[in-house]
Structure 1
């Protein structure tokens, strides 16, 4: 959860210049927001054109994927700039929140300075990388790859300007100077200790990737910058690799074709909330189950299961469901703590529901079939939902619902008729991918067209004024996710080149208990990683290392994917460190403290469900 950064009067320009400063900021922001929004629209149009040409006109556009990938990297980099400006890059703020006001202000300043240093260090290597890419040409369009790679130096330069503007607006010169001095001191110490660190062999990985990354993450530095700075420091201090390697690995991680689905599914999630489709689904479930004990809690579980199949974004899922259900649940006597605890638990439960962004990410970095992951993800989410329902039944078996009347079959059928177009969307998406009609990326464009038509023609709810903010939000969240993937890819490459992956593989293969022992240890590890690093960084960083080991010990790769994703989800939504829990509290506008006790039971139910998934591989691979 992001905390608001304090604004210090000393940071702002003098009153006479303040208006000019604010005008410059507004113009600068629009210069980034509008192109980012246009790029989202262009991505949708290019990919949709490819789908129509292939499946309707039977004349594939051979250049559509190339153009989409060029636009995609520009979209990702502009999105990272907007996320940096808004302070929305993922960071762990548990310890930041515990600090004194002045300590919190310093750590917030440090987070901005870390971003400034990161992009400052990589700016020149990024220009060099873009120049080197001029020798590579795309096969269909015959364009120099510089057109695509130039997004990196341009994005870094814009982030540098953004960092300066944020420091002028949100910090004062003393804290900025202290943060810069701290960074310079750390760099000087690493330079002096370079011979010692090099002589340590692979033990120096503990210094850079355990102590270094851990210190930065716990200090509230955005995770992407923590990964990138540690990787840069490791390569510059202990190897002879050029800095351009970091940029190249980031480009590789951020530019994967499969990841094109990320912004499209984020935008689709925002669309279903805006068009009223989510409200229609929740309304039908509420009419069906609202009169039974704990009924609206079952509705919450079911609604999250359905909505997760559409949006692919956990924040969008919770934002679509909670505002619809929580007022009525509170009116029936449900406690706020229980509501936010169950919302968090359902966030963890539905991590494997396609088209989850985590599924797409894990497929992109491990080579596992996206279709197989989409097929295998449905039943594990249902199993965890069943364990949550069992706990809801136990907790609310004595609930008094004498004042709640059954709406009758006519009202239920009427709600069903209203909800049918919305209920059909997740099934259209899944069938299209599973049956091979379209890829995960292509089917997202089909879903967007479907949602737009449903909003305009069926639900008559389409607020054109919200479209630009939704497109900018899509670019922002996409940029925040993709920068983490890029930085984690560079870090994973450094770990692999060091020989760490071979040592890890050997250690994991020798675990007692064979395949079962490997699964249990992996689950426990990803619960911890999910709470500290969040899901996508943990998957990108350790997925390529652990999936080959899983195959070597006889674990099906789809089964292993389900186990680690669910374990990671439990860590992500489990307090006190799980950032997903605080996101649920922010969306619900409920104090995190009141949910701490109720969530223990829900997390226990999820652990029971995870144990069932580990012990019964059929839940993950039975329908492959």
Structure 2
């Protein structure tokens, strides 16, 4: 996600929940889980390789051989839903689905154990509710035939029931692994009791009308999210409850919306750019860029902090993966910055702030998501995202200048011209990659979905021939990591799409539009309220869920009151990024601390100044639309 990545995801229930049993049955369950997980991880990894091969072949045949393959998009779409579903299974087994753990972490150890087991139980409840409708949905899709390959659409639609069933199986295995039957029984009884309570008050809910929107989409969602239930399952439970208990619509509608949300072909960019981000770190391309910038600025006061800001800007333009960005830059710079006297808290504070600053740098996963759910041109978003990120970089640099204006550099040696030149030669292939990606889209060589495969091919060639650093043994773990992160993101998009559809069908979007258009101050008031809302949403729901849920509702309103959709996208993405990386709730901040191996308490005070700089930059971007749309042509 230039947002939520694997490292941004707090450990899920299966990692946090203690296992107490050492019995033969428990060991057998663990062995079964490991064996089944081993198979699924490798299938998911093969699906990513297949997607890269299919899309790359499509580009070569169309642009080089001038013999387009008409079936590549169709096959990629079929494989993609399977990748999304199995990736979600991998993430579930590894405990890597995104969840809000700020309040859970404050609880006593025993309460924390209970909440973690309850989170698995709640996820299992949702999975059991939707497994049967998902099989019905796949059966209905069997009557549809794909146009190019002439395959039954059941081949694609079967991915959802398969993935949901496997996640339910892993939930059961995990509950058995816990070994404390009193704890498991109490957690399952609590979840079952809450569900039974809603079923009993169904007649009362029928009298509430649209107040049910507050009950389910605010009440149920908030309670489950803050209790540590993974966000995707919180959205799913709220939507399922709303449809089943307050409407006459069949719940199979939710499966259809999940299918629609998870299989949009443009979202295939997410796993491919995540893999590209991991690839540039592994091949040493990111390290080469950072080293060149350090040779340019390392001798000035605060120079390495400027390098950190610039390196995050450049790396974000390649990887699209926030985890890859921070993990590639921090280990290179932090040791030298620490030797120069920088405090660990200030380092992670700046690293976190640069994470928020670069949310609009293409190929941002959030930009791709915005385009997929709102219909805004991905190419326009990629063009419009460069300057807003640069504005926030300037405001961050102003804070850096103020903080380091008295830094002692008497012991720092300035790089010679020859050293800088050599650094530039080494870094050139890496520096060229963002321009290769951008040119391929602009010149029509590849679509926004396909261009990531060109970046992957370029990185492999450069890593093998130029940097001569390519660890073949890391490829499989990287592919599995990509599948898990992508599955976690796409399952959120699927359930959030179902929730957004329910909100729209209820008439909420009309009410929201009327309220937002009547705000005082016109477009300026609308932007101000949107900034506040997305800062809060970014810290609570994280980026992609907030965008998927509210983007389809708010972007039409922005157009109606005269706010350019690309300008609005930049404003809300940056606001969401500030929330995502701001403590105490923003999980991005804790990811930066994890990468820097610094106690989160140490960065709480230093980050206030950097967040202030980001807010100033955001206000500038919001006040001057040209920054976002000046180069759209």
* TM-score > 0.5 by shorter chain: yes
Contact 1:70 1:148 (8 Å CA) reproduced:
yes
Per-residue deviation at 1:22? Answer: 3.7
- Counterpart in 1 of 2:53? 45
1:69 aligned to 57, 77, 97, which one?
77
Give yes or no for contact 1:129–1:149 (8 Å, CA) kept in 2: yes
**Superposition pairs of residues 53-132 of structure 1, within 5 angstroms:** 53-132=61-140
Structure 2 partner of 1:370: 378
Preserved contact between residue 26 and residue 179 of structure 2 (Cα < 8 Å):
no
Equivalent runs, 1:524-539 vs 2, <5 Å: 524-539=532-547
Please say if residues 374 and 434 of structure 1, whose CA atoms lie closer than 8 Å, have aligned partners that are also in contact.
Answer: no
**Counterpart residue number, 1:268:** 276
Which whole-Å CA distance do the structure 2 matches of 1:25 and 1:535 have between them? 31
Deviation track 1:230-251 (CA, whole Å, cap 9, x = no partner) reads: 0001111100111111111000
| 1:557 and 2:565 correspond | yes
Counterpart Cα distance in 1 of 2:144 and 2:363 = 33
Q: Provide Cα deviations, 1:142-173, integer angstroms capped at 9, x if missing partner.
A: 11110000000110111011111222223522
Q: Determine the C-alpha separation between the residues in 2 that align with 1:456 and 1:191.
A: 60
The answer on 1:327 being equivalent to 2:327 is no
The answer as to whether partners of 1:267 and 1:474 remain within 8 angstroms in 2 is: yes
Pair 1:600 & 2:595 matched: no
Provide the rounded CA distance (Å) in 1 between the counterparts of 2:399 and 2:596.
Answer: 21
Structure 1, unaligned stretches of length 5 or more? none
Q: Distance in 1 between matches of 2:323 and 2:17?
A: 27
In structure 2, runs of 5+ residues without a counterpart are 1-8
Deviation at 1:194, TM superposition (A): 1.4
1:178 matches 2:189: no
Whole-angstrom distance in 2 between the partners of 1:122 and 1:111: 17
Change (3 A) 1:242 1:446: same
Cα RMSD, aligned residues only: 1.1
Counterpart residue number, 1:223 = 231
Q: Spell out the pairing of 1:500-511 with structure 2 (5 A cutoff).
A: 500-511=508-519
Alignment match, 1:249? 257
Deviation at residue 315 of structure 1 after TM alignment = 1.2
Cross-structure match for 1:446: 454
Give the structure-2-normalised TM-score: 0.97
Q: Secondary structure of 2:627's partner? A: helix
Cα deviations by residue, 1:508-532 (Å, 9 ceiling, x for unpaired): 0101111111111111110000000
Matches within 5 A, 1:405-444: 405-444=413-452
Structure 1 SS opposite 2:228: coil
Alignment partner, residue 37 of structure 2: 29
Contact 1:13 1:21 in 2 (8 A): no
TM-score if structure 1 supplies the norm length?
0.98
Counterpart CA distance in 2 for 1:320 and 1:203 is 47
Indicate the larger mover: 455-464 or 114-123: 114-123
Equivalent residue in structure 2 for 1:159, among 167, 178, 181: 167
Superposition deviation, residue 588 in structure 1:
1.2
Query: Matches of 2:64 and 2:120 in 1, distance apart?
Result: 49
Q: Is the 8 A contact 1:7 1:169 kept in 2?
A: no
Task: State whether residues 575 and 596 of structure 1, in contact with CA within 8 Å, keep that contact through their aligned partners in structure 2.
Answer: yes
Contact 1:7–1:171 at 8 Å: present in 2 too? no
Counterparts in 2 of 1:127-138, with a 5 A limit? Answer: 127-138=135-146
Q: Rate the CA distance shift 1:457–1:525 in 2: closer, same or farther, 3 A.
A: same
Q: 1:126 to 1:562 in 2, by over 3 A?
A: same
Distance 1:289 1:242 in 2: 62
Bigger CA drift: 201-210 or 263-272?
201-210
Q: Does 1:191 align with 2:199?
A: yes
Which is worse superposed, 231-240 or 175-184?
A: 175-184
The alignment status of 1:459 with 2:470, answered yes or no, reads no
Q: Secondary structure of the equivalent of 2:585? A: coil
Query: Aligned match of 1:611 in 591, 595, 619?
Result: 619
CA distance in 2, matches of 1:568, 1:232: 27
Partner Cα separation in structure 2 for residue 380 and residue 7 of structure 1: 42
Cα displacement (A) at 1:596: 0.3
Q: What secondary structure, in the 3-state scheme, does the structure 2 residue paired with 1:368 have?
A: coil
Q: In the alignment, which residue of structure 1 is the partner of 2:399?
A: 391
Q: Is the 8 A contact 1:13 1:168 kept in 2?
A: no
Task: Provide the rounded CA distance (Å) in 1 between the counterparts of 2:148 and 2:101.
Answer: 46
How far off its partner does 1:187 sit?
1.5
Q: CA deviation at 1:114?
A: 1.5
Counterpart-to-counterpart distance in 2, 1:286 and 1:418 = 13
Aligned-residue offset at 1:434: 3.1
Which of 297, 300, 317 is the aligned partner of 1:292?
300
Conserved 8 A contact 2:142-2:152: yes
SS of the residue 2:449 aligns to? helix
Match of 2:317 in 1: 309
Q: CA deviation at 1:3?
A: 4.0
Residues 538-594 of structure 1, C-alpha deviation per residue, up to 9 Å, x if partnerless? 000000000000000000000000000000000000100111111111111111100
Partners of 1:375 and 1:434 within 8 A in 2: no
Q: Indicate whether 1:340 and 2:348 are aligned.
A: yes
Shift of 1:7: 5.4
Give the match for residue 498 of structure 1.
506
Distance in 2 of aligned mates of 1:9 and 1:477: 25
Please name the residue that 1:354 is paired with: 362
